[in-house]
Structure 1
C-alpha cells in the first residue's frame, strides 16, 4: 500500500525526516508518494528573513537558540550539515514543480537531497530559476527540459493537488505521513510507520 509523505523543502525537520526515512527504507522497502506542502504561504521568490527570525514570530525569544541547537544537533547525528541562521525564507512552489519533473524521470530522491543541501547548507536561493536549473542538471535532469518547465506553468496542477490533499487529510504540520487508512502522523519513527503500512 502506498505511503503518503507530506513535506516542504523549506522545512529543516523534513530534511531530517527524509534522512531517517531513507534509512528505514533500506531495511523495509515501501512505495512512497511524496506530497508537496505549502509551509510558508505568501512567501516570495526574493529572500526574506532568516529561519531564526521566522521562529521568533511563534516562539519566545529565549526559546529560539535552543530550538535551533536541537535541529542542528539532530541533523549532525544523521550526517546533515544544517545552518539555520544563514538560511533565508523563500517560496518553494517552483522547487516543488521541479521535483514533480524529477519524479517523472526517476530522479526525485537525488534532486530533493540536492535541494535540501542547497537551501540549508549552501544557502542558495532555491526560488531562483537559475539555481533550480543548475540543481536539476547537476542531478541528471536535462537542462533544456528543466528550463522549459520552469519557464512554464507545467506541474502547477500537480503541486496544487498535493496542497488540496493535505488540507483534505488534515495535515497541518510537516513532515507528516499517512499509511493505510489512518490519518496523518508526524514522521518521527519511519520504521514503525512502514511496518504498520505493510500490515494493511
Structure 2
C-alpha cells in the first residue's frame, strides 16, 4: 500500500509528524508492505536564503508579528518536538530556501533512500543548524546517505530533478494542498498535520483494509475473465 507524504524540510511540524508516523509504523503489522513516497512541498518557494537573520527575525518579518510573539511560537514548537525525542535548536537555525534540499531528496528517492534523506535533512536543519541551501552542506548529506558526492555536486550545480520538485508542488496545488505535512493513504485517507501516533496508526489500518479490498476485487475480476477453452473446460 502506498503512503504519499507532502513535506518541507524547513517545516517543524513535518519533522514532528514524521517521527509520529514512524512510531505508528513500528506498531503496524504490515509495515514491510508499505510503500512510502515522499513528495516535495515548498512553503516559501521564492524565499531567499539569509544566513544573517535568526528564525525569530524571519518569522517576525514574514508573518508580520513581534519578535516576542515569534519567540513564543518557536518555544512551543521546541517543547512539542522534545516530547517526541527531537532536539530543536531554534537559535541555530539558518533561514534557507529548501529547493535544493528537495532535489537531493528526489535523487535519493531513485536509490530508495528518500525516507532516510528526509531524516538527515530535518536533523541538519533543526538540530545542527546547517545551511541546507549550501552546496557543500548538501554534498556532505549525500555522503552521509552513501551517495556519490561528485554526482551530488553535479546535480546541485545543474538543474537535475528540478522538474520533479516542481511537479510535486504543482500536484499539491492541484489537490488543494495548502499546508504540510499531509499524509495520503492509498489515495483515499488523509491525515493533515503532525497528528498523534494513534491517528497515524488508525489511518494505516484503514488504508490497508481499503487496499486489501481493492486487491481482492482485482483478483476476482481476473478469475471471472479466465477463458479455459472452447467448451469452458479448464
1:44 aligns with 2:54: no
1:196 aligns with 2:202: no
8 Å Cα contact 1:169-1:184 kept in structure 2? no
User: Could you give the per-residue CA deviations for residues 116-164 of structure 1, whole angstroms, max 9, x where no partner exists?
Assistant: 1111111111101111001110221111221121122111111111001
More displaced 10-residue stretch of structure 1: 34-43 or 45-54 = 45-54
In structure 2, runs of 5+ residues without a counterpart are 211-234
2:104 paired residue number: 98
1:24 paired residue number: 24
Bigger Rg, structure 1 or 2: 2
Q: How do residues 30-179 of structure 1 correspond to structure 2 at under 5 angstroms?
A: 30-47=34-51, 49-56=53-60, 57-58=62-63, 60-61=65-66, 62-179=68-185
8 Å Cα contact 1:8-1:37 kept in structure 2? yes
8 Å Cα contact 2:13-2:193 kept in structure 1? no
1:181 paired residue number: 188
TM-score, structure 1 normalization: 0.90
User: Could you give the per-residue CA deviations for residues 46-90 of structure 1, whole angstroms, max 9, x where no partner exists?
Assistant: 436332223324374354333222211121122211022321221
Give the aligned CA root-mean-square deviation in angstroms. Answer: 1.9
User: Could you give the per-residue CA deviations for residues 158-180 of structure 1, whole angstroms, max 9, x where no partner exists?
Assistant: 11110011101111111112223
1:6 paired residue number: 6
Counting matched residue pairs gives 200
8 Å Cα contact 1:137-1:143 kept in structure 2? yes
2:228 paired residue number: none
User: Could you give the per-residue CA deviations for residues 84-116 of structure 1, whole angstroms, max 9, x where no partner exists?
Assistant: 232122111111010111111122222221211
8 Å Cα contact 1:171-1:184 kept in structure 2? no
In structure 1, runs of 5+ residues without a counterpart are none
TM-score, structure 2 normalization: 0.78
- Partners of 2:164 and 2:44 in 1: how far apart? 18
8 Å Cα contact 1:177-1:185 kept in structure 2? yes
SS of residue paired to 2:105? helix
- Partners of 2:5 and 2:120 in 1: how far apart? 18
